[in-house]
Amino acid sequence: MSPLSDERVLRLLRAELPVPEAHVAATDLWPRVQSRVHQGSAPWPSAVDWMLAALVVISCVLSPSAIGMLLFHL
């Protein structure tokens, strides 16, 4: 088996991996991003979010070893 030269490897790569055509986006997304940023802040958390946060705090108060488990999973 003969060793491959650099030129031959490049030729083979170019043959198998053609250069992609220039991709132009259909629309500009930046105005949409700006409108979302200027829309305002995120809505307040729901009642379920508050209950889950309270459950985490209560479990950490009742069982301090839960703090280590919580930090491990974060």
Q: What tens-digit pLDDT sequence spans the chain (74 residues)? A: 467 788 899 888 888 987 777 776 678 888 888 888 888 777 788 999 999 999 999 998 999 988 888 888 87
* CA pair distance 9, 3, nearest whole angstrom: 10
Those residues with Cβ within 8 angstroms of residue 67's Cβ, 6 or more apart along the chain or in another chain: 60
Q: Locate tokens 């991003």: which residue?
A: 33
Domain residue ranges of the chain, discontinuous segments joined by +: 46-74
The model's pTM is 0.42
What is the per-residue pLDDT for 2? 67
Secondary structure letter of residue 40 according to DSSP: -
